[in-house]
């Protein structure tokens, strides 16, 4: 399943077989913005590493650039790509692993809207997921059959994920495609040597498996990984100063102090 091979890119702005386009492409793209706003997110969400942050592409990342494609065959499902995508969007939070909490704004998965994320990751391979990370994404593009989210500064990865449902020669597929680099040297260390890459993969394996299970389909997830650039970008090493992981740990440790301050 971890086979590395060269596969035609199905990333942002490229054609996906059977892709369903919305009636207006202009309405499908987020409006140009310098900063992310998560003002419509639920109050219980931890909005400490998203509000006011810039979006970052792989060009602004530090580590190796990877493209990962996760795809599941929805065999025998008598629904259109639009119907499946509608269900996926409506249950996007429900299909996540238990340790991850996704908080879309009240507007849902629409262009320009933020999705706050609270997750837990293991400090080392084989250990339980105990370290908190609060981050998020912004919906860059969304139509009836797909949507793309882009990461803000401080997120473990610089890049985007595209979620799509399409018909390929009579077979319905659901797919997640990630194109990204680890944001800073610490994230690169964890992703390359300490198991964070596999931990990240488990998220999309879980999501696609849960989506298929919603329709009582039990198929294996096909995984293709392509190393697009093996080099690191030392010019981006200073990204560590905005690390969501580091900032979240200190924020959580400071909770008692904030509580006492409110009482005095």
pLDDT value at residue 21: 45
- What pTM was estimated for this model as a whole? 0.87
pLDDT of residue 15: 39
Could you state, in order of their start, the residue ranges of all structural domains in the chain?
Answer: 25-256
Cα torsion for 237, 53, 190, 70, to the nearest 10°?
Answer: -120
Residue 107 belongs to what H/E stretch? none
Architecture per CATH, domain 25-256, reads as 2-Layer Sandwich (3.30)
Phi, psi of 191, deg, nearest 5: -70, -40
The residues pairing with 117 across neighbouring beta strands, listed in sequence order, are 102, 135
pLDDT for res 254: 86
Could you list the mean pLDDT of each consecutive 10-residue stretch along the chain, which spans 264 residues? Answer: 40 44 72 88 90 96 98 96 97 94 91 94 75 94 97 97 95 97 96 92 97 98 98 98 94 82 74
Identify whether the C-beta of residue 252 lies closer than 8 Å to the C-beta of residue 199: no
What pLDDT digit, counting tens, does each position of 121-171 carry?
A: 877 767 777 788 999 999 999 999 999 999 999 999 999 999 999 999 899
Q: What angle do CA 92, 94, 98 make, to 5 degrees?
A: 120
Q: What is the DSSP string of 237-262?
A: GGGGGG-HHHHHHHHHHTHHHHHHHH
Q: Where are the alpha helices (DSSP H) in 4-125?
A: 25-28, 81-90
């Amino acid at each position: 399943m971890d086979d590395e091979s060269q596969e035609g890119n199905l990333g942002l702005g490229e054609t996906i077989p059977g892709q369903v386009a919305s009636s207006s492409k202009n309405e499908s793209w987020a409006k140009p913005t310098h900063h992310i706003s998560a003002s419509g997110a639920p109050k219980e969400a931890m909005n400490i590493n998203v509000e006011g942050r810039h979006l970052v592409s792989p060009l602004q990342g530090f580590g190796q650039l990877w493209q990962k494609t996760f795809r599941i065959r929805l065999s025998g499902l008598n629904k259109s790509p639009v119907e499946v995508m509608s269900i996926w969007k409506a249950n996007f939070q429900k299909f996540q692993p238990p340790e991850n909490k996704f908080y879309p704004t009240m507007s849902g998965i629409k262009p320009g809207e933020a999705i706050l994320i609270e997750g837990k990751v293991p400090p080392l391979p084989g250990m339980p997921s105990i370290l908190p990370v609060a981050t998020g994404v912004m919906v860059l593009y969304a139509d009836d059959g797909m949507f793309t989210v882009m990461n803000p500064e401080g997120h473990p990865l610089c890049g985007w994920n595209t979620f799509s449902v399409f018909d390929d020669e009579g077979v319905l597929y659901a797919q997640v495609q990630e194109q990204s680099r680890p944001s800073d040297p610490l994230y690169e260390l964890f992703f390359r040597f300490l198991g964070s890459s596999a931990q990240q993969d488990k998220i999309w394996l879980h999501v696609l498996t849960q989506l298929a299970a919603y329709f009582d389909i039990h198929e294996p997830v096909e995984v293709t990984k392509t190393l697009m650039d093996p080099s690191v970008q030392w010019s981006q090493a200073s990204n560590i100063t905005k690390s969501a992981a580091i900032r979240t740990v200190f924020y959580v440790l400071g909770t008692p102090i904030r509580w006492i301050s409110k009482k005095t």
